[in-house]
Amino acid sequence: AEEEYESVLCVKPAVLVYRVPPRASNRGYRAAEWQLDQPAWSGRLRITAKGSTAFIKLEDKSSGELFAQAPVEQFPGIAVEGVTDSSRYFVIRVEDGNGRRAFIGVGFVDRGDAFDFNVALQDHFKWVRQQSELARQAQDLEQGPKLDLGFKEGQTIKLNIANMKKKEGGTGSTRPRPAGPGGLSLLPPPPGGKSSSGERPAPLPMPAQLPGTPITDSLLSWPQPTAAPAADVWGDFTKASGSASSQAQGNTGWVQF
């Protein structure tokens, strides 16, 4: 089995110890009967845990020497009991390891230290109860009937998974796009349009006649300019002169550069 280790739950640097008079009845302890102005001992309190048992240790502040120790196996219980007239004082049962026990009173100057002392013990035994419950559930599972989920001889299982079969060589229901020149994929024509292999589009209407520029036979009979040779598209700019008479070409009305 794994060896249990001791963990520290709470440390308080200042605690007072009192002698507790015998309790006359079962009405509970009262801190007012302890002579609170005359503590029997003062030092440090430390709460540790080993396994399910907590230990309240009263130690010297300087040397850490153990003054008394109270093992706590249940809380609330007889090992730690609060007083009836204050929340800062408790009665604990200390043991010397030889079977001898005694009840002493401990008190805290600060009320917050007393609260931390109480909460540390509560949290530890809450954890103990949770571990005990988990162990009990695990034991019940081990002792209960086990399910046999293995296949019996000759037993088979059938799986029905849709959309698992596909046509051989098929890539789906998407139609391939027609290939154009050079192997490029062409996009489908827009809705309502005609493809290039269909009917010709209707001819565009003739532009309206511009006002003030009537198209007459005399305008169409004018000589049209001829295209310049391919080798001399822009003409010979070096031969152009600045006189207007050399640029006119007869009565044709056209100017050639």
Q: Which domains, ranges and CATH numbers included, belong to the chain?
A: 6-134 (2.30.29.30)
Specify the 3-state DSSP secondary structure of 6: strand
pLDDT at 204: 53
pLDDT at 126: 95
Specify the 3-state DSSP secondary structure of 118: helix
First to last CA, the chain: 113
Per-residue pLDDT of the chain (257 residues; tens, 9 = 90+): 456 788 999 999 999 999 998 877 778 899 999 999 999 999 999 999 999 999 999 999 999 999 999 999 999 899 999 999 999 999 999 998 788 999 999 999 999 999 999 999 999 999 999 998 998 888 777 776 666 677 777 777 777 776 655 545 555 555 666 555 555 555 666 665 554 555 565 555 555 544 544 545 554 455 555 555 555 555 555 555 444 444 544 444 544 54
Count the neighbouring beta carbons within 10 Å of the beta carbon of residue 95: 14
Element (H, E) at 80: strand 80-82
- Rounded Cα gap, residues 155 and 22, in angstroms: 77
